[in-house]
Amino acid sequence: MTIKHTLPPAGVLRRLAALLYDGLIILAIEMFAAGLIIAILEAFVALGIMTYGSYQGPSGLLSTHPFWSHVFTIYLGVIWVGFFVYFWTKAGQTVGMRTWKLRVQNPDGSLISRTQALIRIGTSIFGLANLLVPLDPQKRGFHDIWAKTEVVVLPKVL
């Protein structure tokens, strides 16, 4: 679906509101993902496949073990990045963006690529890149400039 380029650019407050909304959703997804790993570890211990050794249960293992703490962090990071890449490239909107009637797109109105999505995430500084929006004449964040994308406000549906 291509949206006309005549849509107004999104302001910083609307962008940050959508980011806060998405942050709550990602937090819930990350909690579920962590719970899944803990359930798997507990099942392995119950089946006698592994033990926690000197660690105080699964949280100790996943937070302090030199190898597993890094693997667990990468696992959660991939889920976090995957959330944005999936929604931006498939629909141009995350759940929070949909709520606030925002869409990330190319200047011609087409969906962004995975590469653009990864550039946006890598240069977003956890959302702080949106603080450039009031200073840019085209209302783009730092990450939008680098990824050659724009965030627009969609019209209200009657």
Q: What confidence category does residue 134 fall into, taking pLDDT thresholds of 50, 70 and 90?
A: very high
What residues contact 141, with CB distance under 8 A and at least 6 apart? 15, 124, 129, 130, 131, 132, 133, 151
Q: Is residue 7 part of a domain?
A: no
Task: Give the pLDDT confidence of 20-52 residue by residue, as tens digits.
Answer: 999 999 999 999 999 999 999 999 999 999 999
Parallel/antiparallel/unpaired status of strands 102-105 and 150-153: antiparallel
Structural domain containing residue 131: 12-153
Count: domains in the chain: 1
Mean pLDDT of 152-158: 88
Q: For residues 70 and 48, give the distance between their C-alpha atoms in angstroms, rounded to a whole number.
A: 24
Q: Is residue 76 part of a domain?
A: yes
- The pLDDT value recorded for residue 4 is 47
Does 131 have pLDDT greater than 80?
Answer: yes
Q: Is residue 63 part of a domain?
A: yes
Q: Is residue 149 part of a domain?
A: yes
User: Cα-Cα-Cα-Cα dihedral of 26, 103, 15, 97, to 10°?
Assistant: -40
Q: Is residue 133 part of a domain?
A: yes
With residue 59 as reference, give the H or E element that holds it: helix 58-64
Q: Which residue has the tokens 């498939």?
A: 90
Q: Is residue 3 part of a domain?
A: no
- The pLDDT value recorded for residue 75 is 98
Q: Is residue 6 part of a domain?
A: no
Evaluate whether 104 touches 147 at the Cβ level (below 8 Å).
no
Task: Give the pLDDT confidence of 54-112 residue by residue, as tens digits.
Answer: 999 999 999 999 999 999 999 999 999 999 999 999 999 999 999 999 999 999 999 99
